[in-house]
């Protein structure tokens, strides 16, 4: 529609390119354009029904394996076990739907942010219409309090300021102008003659031409990016899928091998060997794993919620534990999103605002309070953040600022404008004296100053004074502080000609005030803890380079002596190809003046390096990157609903340090899932080895019902209780395990193999020992006793092994063998359920078992103790080798 950017076009060019005029469009033209461009709405993506979401839960490979296991269990006649497995699968699916039912909230929230009405010129008259009826070319009137209904190029702007932090990341309202801007490739935040859909007009008024509606607006393009961004699979999901595929192939191979060996031996019937193969397959499948993972994650979410980290998607808990990079938005996340007075310059001295106090009778204090448009409301101060900060400085010192303002009535003013960068007010005190107070940019104010107030005395302003003031201003500016200069003069009456050229002259310089959107006090320590945990914090902001650099150094994201090579702007990033950026992404710790697409690009570059990326943010502009990241972290208080909807986790307190707490919890969750996995798989290998060797040697083998019962009582309760293990010491001193790691990393695979073999060998040893030294002379009873002892040993040895699994490498005596009360009760409960099948008459008949005497029980318990002793010896050797 236009041959050059909207911000470079004159009013005549705008009207010509958009085929409009000052009187607005006719109804016929509006109707025609609405048909061409559509409604001024964000496109709605078809949302999945609850049934579709529920069915989608069953597409996971591990869930399919479990369903097969249920079918196999049902085929053996064990309907109770089959129903239990199916119940676990269904409950898991329901929980998944419940957790992820708000996954499409980002687009819905964007639509809700749209302004409901707009005031437009139609046929030469101002009319109020629904915002979704706007079309390109409409002339829109805007004033303070309005939400911008579309992307609009201003043609008039009267002291207009717009709060657009959610879109651009700018921490304070931006001065807007109707002037033509001549620079090429201006970033979004520097297009001062444009206002964007969903932004808020904080002060002033103006008119403009609609240049984009609906999905063509900047917010619309973000909405499109959110929909186009593919959700990444978490490391947990990838690990479970790989594990499911690996286990399935292995299980089918072993079951087939056992079936073939049995048939070749010719000692078993086809039906018996088929049942044996099926029972072996059931023994090998850790059917409790998905439920245990879900429960462990759910328990983790509860603990995190108590510490202000709200999880929207369960896998996010574990993903946090593998985080390598935290890419954080600055405004409102690392900083407080409110301007604060930090430095005062008066009487030739620079003072720390937190340690200084300016009396309310001081001209500097009066200038700060009276040359100010802030309003006192029931909800606190309202107005421009820069001005509210000036009043808040005195409120924080319990000074009667409101009384001082009301006692010095404003009788006239010269409003601020972006050209002269000054504002004047005329205030009358209770004695009838009139004082003109002026504030603005130091360089502009000094042009109008002839005197200076020093130690209560007014004297001529010298060149030395000017040099000192400008040097102080420069030093403060290099620290990313926003500096305001103040002046005043006493007058007899308000001049008739209230123009800057005549009225803002011959002023007395009072002092400087330096402000900043300060860092959150707890963030610096959180950054230190992140570095200790091997996590790299990165700042991504829409703010200016100097501001971003200064804050990053104050927080420790950048070293105090770091160079500019670690900082890059969005414009500089645009000049790099994807290949160049991917190669050099590790060089940059701060990204300034960036657009939404830059954030996604940064996240993707780190992900291509195999890093797990957490992205924090609170604005609309953060939503695409929040969704693209491995884990998106939204802000609960200051965050928009868009950013929360696109996030996996929301910080209820907006506290950056809560992320570090969540990372610790995530690491603990992964470690506990690893412990449960090691416990389950080693137990299953022990069962498979026992059945395999028994079949190979032609021994009487454990029946399917016995295997299923062992699985049910020993797999479920202890494995869930392992998910409640407290975090091990120094868990936050370890390096992130990263995306390349999996559940078998850190020696777990080797542990599973040798511990599973050990369980099987000890069980077979007890079986062989019982046959060699039978209690009964009858061969049939001796075999029955041996089978019962094998059953008891296989079950009990797994329960004893649960204590070994409290730590992958550390000694259980260091961790505390009975410290986890839940595990103690789980093991006791499982043992009673196991014992009841042996000692209770009727039950032992159903399970084809015999009663054991005290000597036989002693042998079984001795086998369990032997398991603990051997594993502890191996752990000791592993720790020595690591050293």
pLDDT in tens, 858-868: 999 999 999 99
Confidence band of 108 (pLDDT split at 50, 70, 90): very low
Beta strand segments in 528-657, E: 536-540, 567-569, 590-592, 613-617, 631-635, 649-651
What number is the average pLDDT over the span 751-777?
89
- % of residues, the chain, pLDDT over 90: 34
DSSP 818: T
Task: Please give the pLDDT value at position 66.
Answer: 61
Q: How many residues does the chain have?
A: 883
The pLDDT confidence band at residue 244, using thresholds 50, 70 and 90, is low
More confident residue, 620 or 852: 852
319-336+521-654 carries CATH number 3.40.50.1000 = yes
Q: How confident is the model at residue 105 (pLDDT cuts 50, 70, 90)?
A: very low
Q: With bands split at pLDDT 50, 70 and 90, how would you rate the model's confidence at 109?
A: very low
Among 40-49, 50-59, 215-224, 489-498, the minimum mean pLDDT is found in 40-49
pLDDT at 268: 63
Chain segment 730-754, per-residue pLDDT in tens: 888 888 887 767 777 788 889 999 9
Identify whether the C-beta of residue 364 lies closer than 8 Å to the C-beta of residue 455.
Answer: no
Comparing 41-55, 99-113, 451-465, the range with the smallest average pLDDT is: 99-113
Tokens 């959107």 sit at which residue? 517
pLDDT for 773 equals 85
More confident residue, 472 or 239: 472
Tens digit of each residue's pLDDT (9 = 90 or more) over 354-404: 887 778 889 999 999 999 998 888 878 888 888 999 999 999 888 899 999
Picking from 323, 239, 301, the residue whose alpha carbon sits closest to that of residue 732 is: 323
Tell me: pLDDT of 548 over 50: yes
Predicted pLDDT of residue 817: 85
Report the pLDDT averaged over residues 295-304.
Answer: 77
* Mean of pLDDT values over 21-33: 90
Number of H helices, E strands in the chain: 34, 26
Among 154-163, 507-516, 631-640, 657-666, which stretch is predicted with the lowest mean pLDDT? 631-640
> Among this protein's residues, is 138 annotated catalytic?
no
DSSP collapsed to 3 states, 523-549: HHHHHHHHHHCCCEEEEECCCCHHHHH
C-beta of residue 769 within 8 angstroms of C-beta of residue 786: no
Name the CATH code of domain 6-44+113-226 (choices 2.70.150.10, 3.90.1170.50, 1.10.760.10, 3.40.1280.30).
Answer: 2.70.150.10
- Assess whether pLDDT exceeds 70 at residue 58: yes
pLDDT the model gives residue 846: 74
- Give the mean pLDDT of 675-681: 88
pLDDT at residue 656 above 70?
A: yes
* 107: pLDDT strictly greater than 50: no
Q: How high does pLDDT run on average in the chain? A: 83
Please say if the pLDDT value at position 330 is more than 90.
Answer: no
Task: Write out 377-413 in H/E/C secondary structure.
Answer: ECCEEECCHHHHHHHHHHHCCCCCHHHHHHHCEEEEE
pLDDT at 72 over 70: no
pLDDT of residue 450: 96
How far is the first Cα of the chain from the last one, in angstroms, to the nearest whole number? 69
- Helical pair 779-804 and 821-839, crossing angle rounded to 10 deg: 170
Least confident of 470-474, 576-580, 776-780: 776-780
| Res 198: pLDDT | 79
For residue 114, pLDDT over 50 is answered with no
Q: Is the pLDDT of residue 534 over 60?
A: yes
What's the rounded Cα separation, in Å, for the pair 816 and 766?
29
pLDDT of residue 232 exceeding 60, the answer is no
Share of the chain above pLDDT 70, in %: 85
Two tokens at 82? 């089959």
Please state the rounded mean pLDDT for residues 202-221: 87
Strand, helix or coil for residue 717: helix
Q: Are 516 and 481 in contact (CB under 8 A)?
A: yes
Q: What is the mean pLDDT of residues 692-696?
A: 80
- The band of 103, judged by pLDDT with boundaries at 50, 70 and 90, is very low
**Alpha carbons 268 and 328: distance in angstroms, whole number:** 65
Least confident piece of the model among 170-174, 218-222, 554-558, 768-772: 170-174
Contact 760, 685 (CB under 8 A): yes
Nearest CA among 91, 81, 77, 96 for reference residue 287: 81
The yes-or-no verdict on residue 407 having pLDDT over 70 is: yes
408 burial via Cβ count (<10 Å: 0-12, 13-18, 19+): buried
Question: What does the alpha-carbon distance between residue 760 and residue 262 come to, in Å, rounded to a whole number?
Answer: 19
Q: Which residues contact 247 (CB under 8 A, 6 or more apart)?
A: 65, 284, 285, 286
CATH value of 340-516 in 3.40.605.10, 1.20.1250.10, 3.40.1110.10, 3.10.310.40: 3.40.1110.10
* 115: confidence class by pLDDT, cuts 50, 70, 90: very low
Q: Which of 329, 622, 648, 715 is catalytic?
A: 329
Strands 590-592 and 151-163: unpaired
pLDDT at 694 over 90: no
**Can you tell me the mean pLDDT for 637-659?**
76
CATH class of 235-308+663-882: mainly alpha
Token pair of 161 as six digits: 């300021």
pLDDT grade for 102, boundaries at 50, 70 and 90: very low
Q: Is residue 29 predicted with pLDDT exceeding 60?
A: yes
457 pLDDT above the threshold of 50: yes
Confidence of residue 693 (pLDDT cuts 50, 70, 90): confident
Identify the top-confidence range among 56-60, 235-239, 294-298, 780-784.
Answer: 780-784
pLDDT of residue 111: 42
Beta strands in 407-506 (DSSP E): 409-414, 422-428, 434-440, 449-454, 457-460, 482-491
- Comparing CA positions, the residue from 337, 341, 334 lying closest to residue 515 is 341
What is the structure's pLDDT at 46? 62
Residue 86: predicted pLDDT: 72
Q: Which three-class secondary structure state does DSSP give residue 204? A: strand
pLDDT band at 819 (very low <50, low <70, confident <90, very high): confident
Q: 87 and 287 in contact (C-beta within 8 Å)?
A: no
Confidence band, pLDDT 50/70/90 cuts, at residue 60:
low
Tokens of 190: 């520097």
Describe the crossing of helices 779-804 and 748-772 by its angle, rounded to 10 degrees: 150
State the Cα–Cα distance between residues 237 and 63, nearest whole angstrom: 12
Residue 187 falls in which region: left (phi positive, over 0), alpha (psi -120 to 50) or beta: beta
Instruction: Determine the pLDDT at residue 372.
Output: 93
> What's the whole-number mean pLDDT along residues 230-244?
61
Among 152, 153, 209, CA closest to 178: 153
What is the CB-side half-sphere exposure of residue 166 using CA atoms within 13 A?
A: 27
Residue 252: its H or E element: helix 235-265
pLDDT of residue 726: 85
Confidence of residue 104 (pLDDT cuts 50, 70, 90): very low
When pLDDT is averaged across residues 138-167 and rounded to a whole number, the result is 85
pLDDT band at residue 427 using 50, 70 and 90 as cut-offs: very high
């Amino acid at each position: 529609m236009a041959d050059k950017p909207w911000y470079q076009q004159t009013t005549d060019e705008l009207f010509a390119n958009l085929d409009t005029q000052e009187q607005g469009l006719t109804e016929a033209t509006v109707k025609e354009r609405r048909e061409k461009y559509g409604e001024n709405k964000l496109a709605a993506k078809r949302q999945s029904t609850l049934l579709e979401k529920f069915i989608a839960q069953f597409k996971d490979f591990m869930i399919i394996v479990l369903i097969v296991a249920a079918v196999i269990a049902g085929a053996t006649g064990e309907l109770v076990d089959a129903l239990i497995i199916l119940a676990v699968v269904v409950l898991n699916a329901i929980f998944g739907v419940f957790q992820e039912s708000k996954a499409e909230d980002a687009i819905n929230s964007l639509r809700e942010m749209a302004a409901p009405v707009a005031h437009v010129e139609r046929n030469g008259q101002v009319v109020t219409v629904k915002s979704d009826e706007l079309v390109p070319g409409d002339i829109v009137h805007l004033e303070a309090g309005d939400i911008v209904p579309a992307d609009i190029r201003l043609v008039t702007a009267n002291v207009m300021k717009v709060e657009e932090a959610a879109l651009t990341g700018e921490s304070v309202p931006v001065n807007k102008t109707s002037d033509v801007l001549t620079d090429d490739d201006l970033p979004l935040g520097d297009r001062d003659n444009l206002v964007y859909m969903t932004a808020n007009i904080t002060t002033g008024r103006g008119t403009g031409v609609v240049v984009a509606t609906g999905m063509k607006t900047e917010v619309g393009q973000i909405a499109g990016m959110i929909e186009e961004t593919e959700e990444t699979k978490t490391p947990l999901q990838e690990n479970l899928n790989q594990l499911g595929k690996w286990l399935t192939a292995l299980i089918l191979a072993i079951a087939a091998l056992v079936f073939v060996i049995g048939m070749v031996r010719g000692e078993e019937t086809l039906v018996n060997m088929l049942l044996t193969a099926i029972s072996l397959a059931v023994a090998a499948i850790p059917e409790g794993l998905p439920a245990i993972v879900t429960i462990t994650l759910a328990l983790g979410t509860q603990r995190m919620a108590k510490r202000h980290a709200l999880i929207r998607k369960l896998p996010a808990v574990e993903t946090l534990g593998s985080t390598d990079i935290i890419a954080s938005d600055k405004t409102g996340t690392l900083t407080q999103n409110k301007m604060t007075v930090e430095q005062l310059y008066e009487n030739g001295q620079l003072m720390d605002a937190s340690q200084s106090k300016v009396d309310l009778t001081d001209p500097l204090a009066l200038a700060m309070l009276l040359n100010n448009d802030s309003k006192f409301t029931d909800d606190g101060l309202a107005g421009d953040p820069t001005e509210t900060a000036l009043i808040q400085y005195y409120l924080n010192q319990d000074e009667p600022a409101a009384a001082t303002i009301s006692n010095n009535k404003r009788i006239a003013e010269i409003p601020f404008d972006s050209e002269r960068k000054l504002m004047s007010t005329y205030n009358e005190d209770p004695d009838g004296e009139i004082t003109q107070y002026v504030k603005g940019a130091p360089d502009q104010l000094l042009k109008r100053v002839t005197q200076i107030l020093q130690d209560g005395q007014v004297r001529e302003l010298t060149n030395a004074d000017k040099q000192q003031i400008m040097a102080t201003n420069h030093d403060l500016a290099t620290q990313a502080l926003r500096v305001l200069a103040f002046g005043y003069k006493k007058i007899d009456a308000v001049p008739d000609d209230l123009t800057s050229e005549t009225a803002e002259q011959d002023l007395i310089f009072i002092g400087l005030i330096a402000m900043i959107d300060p860092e959150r006090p707890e963030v610096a320590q959180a950054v230190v803890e992140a570095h200790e945990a091997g996590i790299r914090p990165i700042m991504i902001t829409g703010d200016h380079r100097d501001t971003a650099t200064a804050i990053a150094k104050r927080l420790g994201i950048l070293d105090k002596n770091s160079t500019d090579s670690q900082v890059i702007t969005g414009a500089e990033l645009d000049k790099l190809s994807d290949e160049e950026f991917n190669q050099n992404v590790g060089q940059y710790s701060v990204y300034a003046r960036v657009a939404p697409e830059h954030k996604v690009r940064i996240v993707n570059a780190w992900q291509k390096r195999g890093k797990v990326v957490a992205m924090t943010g609170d604005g609309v502009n953060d939503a695409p990157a929040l969704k693209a990241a491995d884990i998106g972290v939204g802000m609960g208080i200051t965050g928009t609903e868009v950013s929360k909807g696109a996030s996996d986790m929301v910080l209820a307190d907006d506290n950056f340090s809560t992320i570090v707490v969540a990372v610790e919890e995530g690491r603990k969750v992964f470690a506990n899932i690893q412990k449960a996995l090691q416990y389950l798989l080693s137990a299953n290998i022990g069962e498979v080895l026992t059945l395999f060797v028994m079949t190979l040697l032609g021994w009487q083998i454990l029946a399917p019902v016995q295997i299923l019962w062992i699985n049910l009582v020993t797999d479920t309760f202890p494995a869930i209780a392992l998910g409640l293990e407290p975090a091990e010491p120094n868990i936050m001193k370890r390096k992130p395990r990263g995306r390349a790691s999996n559940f078998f990393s850190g020696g777990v695979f080797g542990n599973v193999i040798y511990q599973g073999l050990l369980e099987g060998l000890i069980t077979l040893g007890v079986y062989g020992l019982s046959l060699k030294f039978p209690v009964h002379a009858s061969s049939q009873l001796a075999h029955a006793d041996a089978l019962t002892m094998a059953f008891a040993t296989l079950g009990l040895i797994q329960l004893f092994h649960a204590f070994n699994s409290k730590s992958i490498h550390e000694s259980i005596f260091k961790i505390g063998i009975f410290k986890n009360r839940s595990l103690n009760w789980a093991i006791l409960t499982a043992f009673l359920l196991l014992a009841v099948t042996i000692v209770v008459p009727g039950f032992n008949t159903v399970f084809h078992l015999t009663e054991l005497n005290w000597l036989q029980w002693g042998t079984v318990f001795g086998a369990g103790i032997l398991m603990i002793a051997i594993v502890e010896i191996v752990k000791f050797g592993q720790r020595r080798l690591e050293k």
